[in-house]
Amino acid sequence: MDLLPAKIQHYVEGLSYTSDDIGMSKAQVRIYDDYVLKVEKERPKLAKMVEVMRWIEGKLPMPRVIATEVEDGYRYLLMSKVKGHMALDEYYLNRPEELVTLLADALKMLWSIDIADCPKTFDLEAELEEARYRVEHNLVNMDRVEPETFGEGGFKDPEELLQWLCDNKPETDPVFAHGDFCLPNVFFEDGKVSGFIDLGDAGIADRWYDIALGYRSLKHNFDGTYGKVYKSVDPDELFVKLGIEPNWEKIRYYILLDELF
């Protein structure tokens, strides 16, 4: 992205930045002092994301859309920069009690939003169709899956997993959901939730969709999956902080669905 659209260039010309490669997204991300610029191939999902971001503005601490432009098949999205530190910051990973409490607060904050006129609803049928496309075109990254998903005691292959997902669709408990509720996408400051980022999948969805991905992210950021092992944390404490009993069937379902993406 050497040459930026004029609408974007107007805000960032001459400003220094760093590149951000945290996360699984293939987007190019520039971090400025006050802005974040995200560039990725345009698709209908991104236009809907911008619509949701504008709808949620003022309801949640999140990036504000400064400018957006589609040029040569790419969407350029310039946003305000959220305050605080990622939930995977060393400070929080070394203080699991505080981390789990704040993650529960973040989920409650999402669920408090009135979804009556939310412009986007998570479409499980559409997700399964996209999963089918990925399976049929060998796009499933087998290096990223949970070790127990395939093989002995698990599914034979992605095709069998996809069929199981189609045969076992859960009933939903609709709330406003982040859609990718994991530690890199939640920010804290001064003991409070200060921001949410990467809202590409945000919208109305099952409450347990965010819980499932958050539970897995919490577990893996402590157990050494991403390299370093931290103080022991019981991810089940998340349910205690939320004041709910875990629905393991739904948690398993949404984690398995994510395996195909």
Ranges of each domain in the chain = 6-80, 85-259
Measured distance CA(26)–CA(202) in Å, rounded: 18
Is 72 among the residues known to form the active site?
no
User: 6-80 and 85-259: same fold?
Assistant: no
- pLDDT of 23 over the 60 cut: no
- What is the pLDDT, as a whole number, of residue 24? 53
Whose CA is closest to 211, among 120, 130, 132, 107? Answer: 107
Q: Is residue 261 exposed (0-12), middle (13-18) or buried (19+ Cβ within 10 Å)?
A: middle
What is the architecture of the domain spanning 6-80? Answer: 2-Layer Sandwich (3.30)
Q: What is the pLDDT of residues 230-257, one digit of tens each?
A: 877 899 999 999 999 999 999 999 999 9
Structure confidence by residue, pLDDT tens digits, 114-172: 999 999 999 999 999 999 999 999 999 999 999 999 999 999 999 999 999 999 999 99
Determine the pLDDT at residue 84.
97
> What's the CA gap between 199 and 197, in Å, rounded?
6
Residue 112 has pLDDT above 80, yes or no: yes
At CA 48, angle to CA 46 and CA 49, rounded to 5? 60
The active-site residue out of 2, 89, 117, 180 is 180
Of all residues in the chain, the percent with pLDDT exceeding 70 is 97
Cβ contacts of 4 within 8 Å, gap of 6 or more: 12, 37, 76
Query: Per 3-state DSSP, what percentage of the chain is helix, strand, and coil (rounded to 5)?
Result: 40, 20, 40
Residue 102 pLDDT class (50, 70, 90 cuts) = very high
Q: Average pLDDT over the chain, rounded to whole?
A: 94
| Mean pLDDT within 220-224 | 91
pLDDT band at 27 (very low <50, low <70, confident <90, very high): confident
What's the CATH class of domain 85-259?
A: alpha beta
pTM: 0.91
pLDDT at 93 over 90: yes
